[in-house]
Structure 1
Amino acid sequence: MKGPRLRSFGLGAVDYLAKPFWMEELVARIRARLLLLEERPRRVLRWDDVRLDLDAREVSIESTGPVSLTRNEFDVLAYLVERPGRAMTRAQIAQHALPPNEERDDRTVDSHVARLRKKLGPAGARIRTSWGIGYQFAPPEESS
């Protein structure tokens, strides 16, 4: 059986500090992580007149301004937009975009998608239904 350290990394941890620890080591690890965040370019995705800032967790439409999304709506949108053209099942969307301690059935995903389409206006039409599968984000056509 894996130890707690390996299990933590398997669950998505990027660092692990065992007890007892030195305060100096904790501060040094935090500083190192903050430096990595500062050096990384912002992840901003754009389509039509929508701007999705993955780091700031903000969505805006050029013509109307900021779009108010719940945490779950944002996570569902980000999950789909980061996988353009790929049909994702409702179960995949629920597993990767919704918290494990909340309801994660097919109808919950459908509700989030319906609200996203409405809040995004015409740009929401890019979230397409893949019949018998789930949903996909249809990216804009590349112009040559």
Structure 2
Amino acid sequence: MSTDLVRALLDRPQVVVEYLRSRYARRDQEVCGVLYLDVRNRLLEEVELFRGTLVSAAVEPRAILRGALERSASGLIVWHTHPEGEVSPSAEDRVFTRQLQAAAGLMGVRLVDHLILGHGEAWYSWQRHEGGAGDVSHAPSA
């Protein structure tokens, strides 16, 4: 992947969603991952954290932040799929995101976004919805 493509990839939530969808859309299990970023929001590494039926204890903020420190990442984008299609954040999604954002801030790491990818074109971005306030989902425009 070229540096220019990576920079464009992380420029907007919609572009990140299109990248992730190209890699994970056909999965019939829930998948959760993180994109570790440098200070200029360039991709350092993509890590798949979990695959299967996600339970709240399966992915912990501590493990994600340990990965950020090991890679000297200054930012991260967390994402997961909802193969059944619903992209509205669950109560567990909201708690997890708030905990991760608070812990990351204490460590000097930016939580750039938390994305939920649903069936078809539906997706949800915390960045666009002010920390998940509201139940608005949207599809990328063509």
TM-score (norm 1): 0.28
Instruction: Determine which structure has the larger strand proportion and give its number.
Output: 2
Instruction: Determine which structure has the larger helix proportion and give its number.
Output: 1
TM-score (norm 2): 0.28
Larger radius of gyration: 1
Bigger relative CO (Cα 8 Å, ≥ 6 apart): 2
